[in-house]
């Protein structure tokens, strides 16, 4: 890692630790100071405009919408011009990381990451500002994620149709769920909940699942957890604290929310409505063994899985390994390689090939 990256990782870890109390409470005042929100911007920045959308006023549940603006030609690496003409935009429903407890759709790191995904993939990105633990434990973020899908299923809720006639409509046949870290955990559980209830959706169909270093776990300590117990940002003690703050009182990490390879955690995967998946695994991530088990579970259920396996600490960072099983989940997004969402995260200064979970700067 470069020295700026090392210092940033150290600052993130120390800042996160400072907000956590031993009684399972988070200092919201300090957290707000460390993570000031980025306001939405109707004026395009880097070819992408944003607006905040109310998904469910009763909760209230909000989301931030990112969409490439026309004209969008000439973006480096972006191919955004094609999406900016007349074609409907594919939609990525995105869930930010932060161990279920930290950060938001308006956090600077995730505002930048979603903006990059929208620009490079030529897609609309709906970043869900789900409710966070410890105030809102399992299954609240999953409920919020499914509510976001139902919001998009209703044409009357089309968030781009309000006052921007120059923006293409949304393509209901190309909807993706994606997330980073804890957000990838949410994306998985939202996808399987959708699969179990697909018959209740009139229009929405999921074309793919993109899980960037998903936050899974279990009671046993895997070789990667033992080897990387003190890893920056996502250390084993921190992940244990986050699970205690999120899981139901008295539950352990064999719970379906954590153990995605368990029968309960995998329920719905074998449904035809559960989409093909792309999974990004980071070699500095202590949870990587759980992520590989997750991939094997998907394959065992007959699902197409593409794995982007980045170097381990002993592997040169200039050479990443991409192993593909059967097919990619991102066929509906404009991508080169790696897939659009993973490429957007990996192209940041804090890429998954350089350090743990800094692809979008989340903590868990």
Q: In which residue are the tokens 């046949």 written?
A: 173
CA distance 188 to 3: 34
Task: Decide if pLDDT at 66 tops 50.
Answer: yes
What is the model's pLDDT at position 234? 78
Q: Is residue 249 part of a domain?
A: yes
Residue 13 lies in a domain: no
Residue 347: per-residue pLDDT: 36
CA–CA gap between residue 41 and residue 51 (Å, rounded)? 6
Mean pLDDT confidence for 331-346: 44
Which member of 181, 329, 351, 360 is catalytic?
181
Residue with tokens 């009357």: 156
Q: For residues 160 and 157, what is the distance between their CA atoms, to the nearest angstrom? A: 9
Distance CA 225, CA 244 (A): 17
- Which residues, in sequence order, are CB contacts of 247 under 8 Å at separation 6+? 137, 138, 253, 255, 257, 258
* Domain limits for position 265: 39-71+87-310
SS3 of residue 63 by DSSP: strand
Please tell me the total count of domains within the chain. 1
Is 176 a domain residue? yes
In a domain, residue 79? The reply is no
178 pLDDT higher than 50: yes
**Average of pLDDT values for 59-84?**
65
Q: Read off the tokens for 196.
A: 């179990």
Confidence of residue 132 (pLDDT cuts 50, 70, 90): very high
Under the banding of pLDDT at 50, 70 and 90, the label for residue 36 is: confident
Q: Computed from CA positions of residues 281, 287, 288, 292, in that sequence, does the dihedral angle turn out positive or negative?
A: negative
Strands, E assignment, 246-312: 277-281, 305-309
The candidate with the shortest Cα–Cα distance to 83, out of 62, 66, 108, is 66
Q: Which of 35, 129, 285, 289 is labelled catalytic?
A: 285
pTM of the complete model beyond 0.95 = no
Residue 128 dihedral angles phi and psi, to the nearest 5°: -80, 130
Q: Is the pLDDT of residue 357 over 80?
A: no
Residue 358: per-residue pLDDT: 31
Q: Which CATH number characterizes residue 198's domain?
A: 3.40.50.1820
**Could you tell me which residue, 315 or 337, shows the higher pLDDT?**
315
Average pLDDT, the chain: 79
Report yes or no: 266 and 260 within 8 Å, Cβ to Cβ: yes
356, 364, 351, 141: which is closest to 237 by C-alpha?
A: 364
Over the stretch 216-234, which tens digit does the pLDDT of each residue have?
999 999 999 999 988 777 7
Average the pLDDT over each of 62-66, 123-127, 253-257, 349-353 and give the range with the smallest value. 349-353
Whether 354 maps to a domain, the answer reads no
Does residue 352 have a pLDDT over 60?
no
Q: Can you read off the two tokens belonging to residue 28?
A: 């919201």
- Does residue 329 lie in a domain region? no
Q: Is residue 20 part of a domain?
A: no
Determine which of 196-200, 280-284, 302-306 has the lowest per-residue pLDDT on average.
Answer: 280-284
pLDDT at 284: 87
> How many residues belong to the chain?
364
Sort 166 into a burial class: Cβ within 10 Å, 0-12 / 13-18 / 19+. Answer: exposed
Q: What are phi and psi of 179, to 5 degrees?
A: -170, 165
Sheet holding 48-56, edge to edge: 48-56, 61-68, 124-129, 89-95, 170-180, 206-212, 277-281, 305-309, 321-325
Residue with tokens 């699970």: 243
Give the pLDDT band of residue 166 (cuts 50, 70, 90): low
Q: Give yes or no for residue 259 having a pLDDT over 80.
A: yes
Query: Residue 86 — very low, low, confident or very high, per pLDDT cuts 50/70/90?
Result: low
What is the pLDDT, as a whole number, of residue 339? Answer: 40
Answer whether residue 324 shows pLDDT above 60.
no
Give the residue, 334 or 64, on which the prediction is more confident. 64
Angular region, 206: left φ>0, alpha ψ -120 to 50, beta rest: beta
Q: What is the pLDDT of residues 306-320, one digit of tens each?
A: 999 987 555 444 333
pLDDT of 190 strictly over 70:
yes
Burial class of residue 225 in the structure, from the number of CB atoms within 10 Å of its CB (0-12 exposed, 13-18 middle, 19+ buried):
buried
Q: Does the annotation count 181 as an active-site position?
A: yes
Residues 6+ apart with CB under 8 A from 186: 95, 100, 130, 141, 142, 145, 179
Q: How far apart are CA 93 and CA 96, in angstroms?
A: 10
**pLDDT in the model for residue 63:** 97
pLDDT score recorded for residue 247: 98
Say yes or no to pLDDT of 47 above 70.
yes
Query: Helices (H) and strands (E) in the chain — how many of each?
Result: 10, 9
pLDDT confidence bin for 163, thresholds 50/70/90:
low
Tens digits of residue pLDDT in 87-131: 788 999 999 999 999 899 999 999 999 999 999 999 999 999 999
With 80 as the cut, is the pLDDT of residue 262 above it? yes
Mean pLDDT computed over 2-7: 57
Six-digit token string for 231: 């890893």
The answer to whether position 12 is within a domain reads no
């Amino acid at each position: 890692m470069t020295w700026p990256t090392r210092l940033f990782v150290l600052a993130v870890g120390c800042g996160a630790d400072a907000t956590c109390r031993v009684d399972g409470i988070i200092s919201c005042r300090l957290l707000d100071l460390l993570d000031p929100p980025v306001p939405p911007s109707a004026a395009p920045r880097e070819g992408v405009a944003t607006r905040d959308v109310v998904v469910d006023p009763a909760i209230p549940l909000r989301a931030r919408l990112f969409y490439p603006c026309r004209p969008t030609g000439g973006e480096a690496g972006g191919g955004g011009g094609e999406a900016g003409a007349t074609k409907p935009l594919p939609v990525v429903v995105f869930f930010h990381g932060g161990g279920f407890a930290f950060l938001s759709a308006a956090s600077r790191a995730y505002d930048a990451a979603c903006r990059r995904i929208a620009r490079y993939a030529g897609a609309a990105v709906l970043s869900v500002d789900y409710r966070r633990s410890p105030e809102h434990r399992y299954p609240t973020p999953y409920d919020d994620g499914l509510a976001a899908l139902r919001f998009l299923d209703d044409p009357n809720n089309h968030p781009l149709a309000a006052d921007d006639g120059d923006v293409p409509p949304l393509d209901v046949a190309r909807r993706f769920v994606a997330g980073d870290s804890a957000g990838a955990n949410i994306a998985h559980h939202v996808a399987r909940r959708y699969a179990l209830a697909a018959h209740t959706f009139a229009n929405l169909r999921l074309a793919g699942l993109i899980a960037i270093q998903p936050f899974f776990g279990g009671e046993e300590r895997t070789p990667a957890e033992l080897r990387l117990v003190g890893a920056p940002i996502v250390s084993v003690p921190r992940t244990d604290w986050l699970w205690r703050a999120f899981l139901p009182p008295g539950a352990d990490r064999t719970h379906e929310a954590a153990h995605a390879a368990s029968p309960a955690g995998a329920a719905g995967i074998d449904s035809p409505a559960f989409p093909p998946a792309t999974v990004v695994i980071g070699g500095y991530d202590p949870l990587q063994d759980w992520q590989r088990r997750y991939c094997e579970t998907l394959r065992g259920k007959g699902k197409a899985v593409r794995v982007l396996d980045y170097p381990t600490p002993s592997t040169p960072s200039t050479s990443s390994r991409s192993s593909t099983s059967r097919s990619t989940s991102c066929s509906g997004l404009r991508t080169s390689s790696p897939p659009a969402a993973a490429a957007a995260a990996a192209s940041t200064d804090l890429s998954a090939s350089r350090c743990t979970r800094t692809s979008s700067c989340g903590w868990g």
